[in-house]
Each structure stands twice: as structure tokens, then as C-alpha cells.
A and B are shown apart, each in its own frame.
Chain A
Amino acid sequence: AQKITQTQPGMFVQEKEAVTLDCTYDTSDPSYGLFWYKQPSSGEMIFLIYQGSYDQQNATEGRYSLNFQKARKSANLVISASQLGDSAMYFCAMREGKGAQKLVFGQGTRLTINP
């Protein structure tokens, strides 16, 4: 079973608009962390934002925010005021369980920002 599901293979957005990238996850562990990474064409994965399962507030980092709906097991990434440089692959990932170290990634969403 997929632990992380990203249902949008591709998204196309006009520059300066906001965009939401969807992520749902599957875990029975009450303690977990959710991450979003950006992968530009250069290949390097860049950390964007983190949300812990016990966090009371949605995480925010600059133009990035996370719409965390625990009951629905969703952790959608919101990018405000999109820029051409935001064009990239975006991956949602989860670390679950005590002592676990690895991140499990979803299949990603390719975001294209149009001028």
C-alpha cells in the first residue's frame, strides 16, 4: 500500500497565482513527520517545509505553507505568489514511528509556472 499519495502528476499555474499541491498519507502510528521537498531540473532535492503530527498549527516558511488536516490524513503544500523559479518537481515525504530515520516519498507533482 502506498504510504504517500500525490494524485496530481502535473500542475500548470500562472505566475503570481497561488497553487496547492495535494498529499495524502497512510500511517497507523500517532507520531510522524511530514516533509515537502522541491527538485529542480538540476536534480538536487531541496527541503521546503515540515509538519509534525502533534503540531497544533499549520507550518509556514515564507511563501510556503502546509494545510495539515490530520483527520483526513492530508498535508497539502500551498505556494503563494508563484514565481517562474518555482517550476520543479515537488515531493511529499513522511517519517513515521519512533526511531525511524528514513523518509518515504510520494511520486511527486510536476509544477510548471507560466509567465
Chain B
Amino acid sequence: DTGVSQDPRHKITKRGQNVTFRCDPISEHNRLYWYRQTLGQGPEFLTYFQNEAQLEKSRLLSDRFSAERPKGSFSTLEIQRTEQGDSAMYLCASSLNSGRRDEKLFFGSGTQLSVL
């Protein structure tokens, strides 16, 4: 049983470049989340998918950020025209829709982005 996998683990880019991250959730999970975590802080919610539908987006997700989950399986998070303030760990999580409040999220190890 594989967990949530994210690729790449680390990404170094220059300011102004575009970057794309991939997340593969646990295979039977129909919900997928993206979070951002800066050093010394807790994860901050960015967006959430149920199957291929993007159901919620945080105000943190500026128009330079776009996330997709085209077939309801893997997801990509793209950041256009990166800025130094985008440097952070980007965490992906998945869950199985249980309709219960105790539905827990399973997280990947994250993609660490450094914008120079």
C-alpha cells in the first residue's frame, strides 16, 4: 500500500520562472488537498479537490497559482512567475470521502521550493 507521493522532493528555481509539482494520492482516495508550509509555521490550506472538481480555494492562492486534477487521480500545482515569497514546502494530502468528521488526511513528504 503506497502512500501519497510528491515529485520533486526539492526544486530550486530563479525568480520569474514557472514551476510545476506533482502529487499522486493514495489510489482509492477521492479527495486531494494542497497545503503550503513556511519555516516554523503550520501548514496553510491552498486548495481542495473532490475527484476532478476543485471545490475550494484559499485566498492565499493568487492568480499565479493553478492546480488541476484532470482525471481525478494525480494532481499538479503550477506556480507562474515565481517570487521569493513563494519559497516554502508544498504539501499534498489525500483522504477517502467517508462523510464523517473524523476523516483523516494522509500527507506526502512535500516538495521544498526555493526561489532565488
A positions within 8 Å CB-CB of B: 4, 6, 31-33, 35, 37, 42-47, 50, 52, 91, 93, 95, 101-108
Contact = CB atoms under 8 A, between A and B. Distances in A.
A108 B102 contact: no
Interface residues of B, number: 29
Most B Cβ at <10 Å: residue of A95, A102, A104, A108: A102
Given A43-B91, A101-B33, 14 more contacts: A42-B109, A44-B3, A45-B105, A50-B104, A91-B43, A95-B101, A101-B48, A102-B48, A103-B45, A103-B105, A105-B44, A107-B40, A107-B41, A108-B41
Given A44-B108, A44-B110, A102 B101 contact: no
Chain B: interface secondary structure?
Answer: strand
Contacts, number: 62
Nearest to A4: B42
B102 A106 contact: no
Interface of B: 3, 31, 33, 35, 40-45, 48, 50, 55-56, 89, 91, 93, 95, 101-110, 112
A43 B110 contact: yes
B110 A35 contact: no
